[in-house]
Amino acid sequence: MNANRTEGNWDPLADSQSDRRRAERQPVTPQTASPAYRLAYADMDFLGREELRPVRLQLELLKAGVMMEEHGVKSTVVMFGGARIPEPGGEPWAAKNEVQAENLKKASRYYDEARNFARICSEHSLASDGSEFVVCTGGGPGVMEAGNRGAHDVGADSIGLNIILPHEQAPNEYVTPALSFNFHYFAIRKMHFLIRAKAITVFPGGFGTMDEMFETLTLIQTGRMEPIPFILFGKEFWTKIIDFQALADFGTISPEDPSLFHYVDTAQEAWAIISKYYEI
């Protein structure tokens, strides 16, 4: 009897992997060397075809979901924020002029607050079984690094959801390796940010951060996502960059829509909102 078919130990994936290895060991002939002969699931050229886009979308949704479930992740605290914000004392590597350099140096306080906030969340997570309120970031530098670093400071796991970009974005060194994922599709990455989220925090950032912020607010505003604590770090920054009240006054959002989120300036303020909401 096939070992994989023994009672309680049936694993079709093991058979698939065995067949892939057998195919790789077959003699090289014109027939076996033809792309047509490759096993479909082991044929990267085939999987990369335009017609296979629906399959690739499904695979990206499945892979991270399966691996997080296997790792015991039940809920997350999402941290959005700028990749360009340096840690205190660090160089503002993204600055294009002296004004930007000065602004980004001042913004390094948000790196500290993000790290502190992630540490608080992770300490609470560890106090249970480590499966709830797991810190989840985009896996890159800046605020994302600070979030993963805060979890790392207290020995907690954290998630990094990286994405392939024209400029290289490698995972920061503080992401838990088993929870370090890479995506091709922004849409699937966004789904993984939100489907386990118990709280959303947004730190100062650029187009990417605002894209994530507004898409999430839209989902909550339209009832496509349950309301959860939605927290903007840095009231001075956000009220200068976006005049939400002006949108409400003009009529393009409802008068009550600005109440969908909270402004805070410190990690302690943010955690107080979350703990009150969930009666922790």
What CATH number is associated with residue 262? 3.40.50.450
Q: Are residues 97 and 199 in the same domain?
A: yes
CB atoms within 10 A of CB 62: 11
Domain residues for the domain of 223 are: 72-277
At residue 163, what are phi and psi to the nearest 5 degrees? -145, 145
Q: Do both 241 and 113 map to the same domain?
A: yes
Same domain for 159 and 31? no
Whether 147 and 273 share a structural domain:
yes
Crossing angle of helices 207-221/186-194, nearest 10°?
60
CA 276/CA 7 separation, integer angstroms: 48
Domain identity same for 20 and 110:
no
The predicted model scores a pTM of: 0.91
Whether residues 117 and 221 fall in one domain: yes
The span from the CA of 29 to the CA of 131, in Å, is 51
At residue 24, the pLDDT reads: 87
Contact predicate 166/172, CB 8 Å: no
Same domain, 33 and 166: no
Quote the number of domains for the chain. Answer: 2
In this structure, is residue 138 part of a structural domain? yes
Residuewise pLDDT in 10s, the chain (280 residues)? 444 444 556 665 568 888 888 888 999 999 999 999 999 999 999 999 999 999 999 999 999 999 999 999 999 999 999 999 999 999 999 999 999 999 999 999 999 999 999 999 999 999 989 999 999 999 999 999 999 999 999 999 999 999 998 875 789 999 999 999 999 999 999 999 999 999 999 999 999 999 999 999 999 999 999 999 999 999 999 999 999 999 999 999 999 999 999 999 999 999 999 999 999 9
The DSSP output letter for 172 is: P
Residue 2 lies in a domain: no
Question: Are residues 100 and 21 both part of a single domain?
Answer: no
78 plus 39 within the same structural domain = no
Q: Is residue 7 part of a domain?
A: no
